[in-house]
Structures are given as C-alpha cells and as structure tokens.
Amino acid sequence: MKITFTLANALASLILISAPHGAQSHSVAARHCITSANKLRIFLEHWHDASGVGSGTFKFNVNTVPADMTAIGAVRGVSDTTKLPGCTTECTTLASECTGLTGPPGQLGGSAGTHHDWVWFDFAITDTVELLQGNNYYLVEGCNSLYPVTITAANSDCGCACTELGQQCCIPHSPSQYEECVYAADLSLTPIVRPTAGGTKCCVHPSDPDRIILQHTSFSCPAPAPPTTPAPTPAPVPTPPPVTLPTPPPVPSTCVCSELGQQCCATGSPTQYEECVYAADGSIVPIFRPTAPGTKCCPHTFDPKRIILEHIGTTCPVPTTKAPTPAPVVLPTPPPVPSTCVCTELGEQCCNVHSPTQYEECIYDGTLTLTPIFRPTAPGTKCCVHTIDPKRIIQQHVGMPCP
C-alpha cells in the first residue's frame, strides 16, 4: 500500500511538471474601472507567460444578450492593481477572486494577486456585463467561484455609487479629481470625472458626505463635523384656551368673473377683494382675499378688471382713461446662427464657430433626445474650448486670445 501511494504521488507530480502552459493557465481575479474614454473596462488576471496574450474569446451576457468577445489588450507583470492601464484614476474595483488552489483536478488555479498577467475588455459605461466563462485555457476560471459575476460602472469602489443627481465623491488615489453623478443617455445615474481647480485637492464636505470641497494642496482636509446633539426637549407649555372671536357676517360676492385673474373690490368690506380662479369643475369663480395690513382696496385707475391697494387713510384715486398704447417698434430679426454642436452627452458644451459670443449646451428635449440650445456668453467675453476637456467651454475676455 505504501509503494502504491508513493508511485501515485510521483506520477501526479510528473504530470503537473510536464503539463503544457494551458494546464497551468487560468483566471484568478476579475477587476474593473472607468477609462479616460468613459468606458467600462474589465480586467482578468491569469497566467499566460510569453504566450496566449489576448488569445481566445470569453463568453459574456451584455445587457442580458450573449456575446463572445476577444480581449482588446493585455499586459504582463503588473502586481499593483492601481496601475492597470487606461483607468481614469489610479484605482480598480475587485469583482471576484480565487483564494486558493480550488480548481478542477489537473488544473493550476491559484490565488488572486499571484499571477500578475492581465487581459481586458471594454464596454459602454451604461452596460451591465455578466462574466460567464472563458473559451480557452487562459481565461477559464481557476477556482469554482470566480464566474459567473455581474459588473456595472455603478458598483465601483473608486468613486461615486450614484444615489442622487449632483452627488459628488472624492476619488481614492487621485486627489486632483472628483466624480459627479449625472444622467446618462438612458436616464440612469452615472458618475463622470471632473478635475479640481489648479493647486487644490478634493476633500469630503465636513457636514455633507454627498458633497466635496476643494482644499489647497498644502492644507489638510477638514475633519468631519461632530454629530449634532439634539437639544433637550423643553417641558410642554400649557396651551391657553382658544379665544373665540365672533364670526363677522359673510360679505356677499359682487364680482362677475369674465376672465382668469380678474380682481374686484369687495362691496361693503374695503379690506378685502375678490379674485377669479378656476374651480374644481373648470369654471371660473371668485374667491375672497385680504388686503395687506393697513391698506384698503381701490379700483385700478384705468383697468376695471384689476385693483390697487391704497393706505387706509387716503382717498382712492379717480379712474382715468388708459393712454393709447404706442405702436410696437419692430426691429429686424437677425439671421439665425446654425448649430455646430453634435451632442453625445448631457451637459456637453460647444463654442459656435459662427458666433463667438454664444455657445451651445446639450439638454434633453420633450422626446428625451439630446439637443443643443444656444446660450449667450457673459458681457465682454467670448467662447473658448476648455483647455483639458473638449466637451466643456470657458469664457475669455474678448481682447485676449483663447488659451
């Protein structure tokens, strides 16, 4: 029995030592990040040595649709997962990992962080991606729990897990950037990366964790505000019995409503007036409103369907005939400026090449289509393209060249 056991072990060791690269090549970790091109990038750690870089395909469900994809890039020998290529910030999020030799017999899996070779796949920022299985020995799972796993841009450890529009988050390992939550084209909340102002760093707001402040890089971030201790509840003050005033007799309505918003002074009550509003059935009816303290209602001097409020000690002015309205001055309409902005995201801004004192901003129209609208620059300024973000503009003095 002892001889048999020894021979079996020796045979297993010989098979493992002489096994080809494929028998020793399996994925052991899945990570992801957002790229500088605003893509969702998924990394798979495995062992491929000098061969197998980017070879084979991987089975995904992308937004529940099956897809077989080939890795678009690969890198060897990267042990620091904050240095994986293409990420907007020096940060990646772990989606799943192997923690030991738990693969099927005859295959070498290993623990995450032990192989340092990576391949990656890119997806749209709004995609929901389910990792199913590799189609070759480089990308099959090295343990029984690596796949399936679902990845989205929202489940990121590198910034905002957006829960509300306008939410802001500092980004770990990248203090000169922060994330802000905006609506994507499908109206989902999605984080975008923005730079801090020059010479500043991102700090969490001391009293609002969903907002950030910009602090000079030479100073420490402020400490979070201590929790507010509620003041002790004072003993209840006994409520005096209510004073019941005699109800004045109702004032009869004398306003005959002919249009919405019409106003009439209340007959017999100078400190009230009537205003015509819509009733629940859509008809126009008068309601009573009080005048301001110390004033009384007077008919408008030249518009019989409006009222004015006069000091209660003065006499109402005498109605007059309304002066004729002068003919409107018609100015020539300038020719329209054609739009030159091709909208790709909400809030995108473009300078208009035909009009330097205007710029265009992309918004949703009534059909939820991204559409550019024109906005004027501030007086004395012109539109210039942002120096580091081509989808934003800056306003420069008209006498100075654009940066």
Q: How far apart are CA 287 and CA 297, in angstroms?
A: 15
Closest CA to 322 of 309, 304, 298, 297: 304
Neighbouring CB atoms inside 10 A of 268's CB total: 10
Q: How far apart are CA 48 and CA 228, in angstroms?
A: 56
Q: Summarize pLDDT for 255-267 with one digit per residue, the tens.
A: 999 998 899 998 8
Range ranked top by mean pLDDT from 272-281, 369-378, 383-392? 383-392
**Sequence ranges of the domains in the chain:** 15-151, 168-216, 263-311, 349-397
Mapping DSSP to helix (H, G, I), strand (E, B) and coil, where does residue 145 land? Answer: coil
Percent of all residues in the chain with a pLDDT value above 90, rounded to a whole number? 27
Q: How far apart are CA 193 and CA 34, in angstroms?
A: 9
Using pLDDT thresholds of 50, 70 and 90, give the confidence band for residue 106.
Answer: very low
pTM: 0.41
Neighbouring CB atoms inside 10 A of 228's CB total: 7
Q: Summarize pLDDT for 232-252 with one digit per residue, the tens.
A: 888 888 888 887 766 656 778
Contact present, 79 and 115 (Cβ < 8 Å): no
Q: How far apart are CA 376 and CA 135, in angstroms?
A: 55
- Our CA angle for 31, 142, 157, nearest 5°, is 15
Q: How far apart are CA 241 and CA 118, in angstroms?
A: 79
Burial of 393 by CB count in 10 Å (0-12 exposed, 13-18 middle, 19+ buried)?
buried
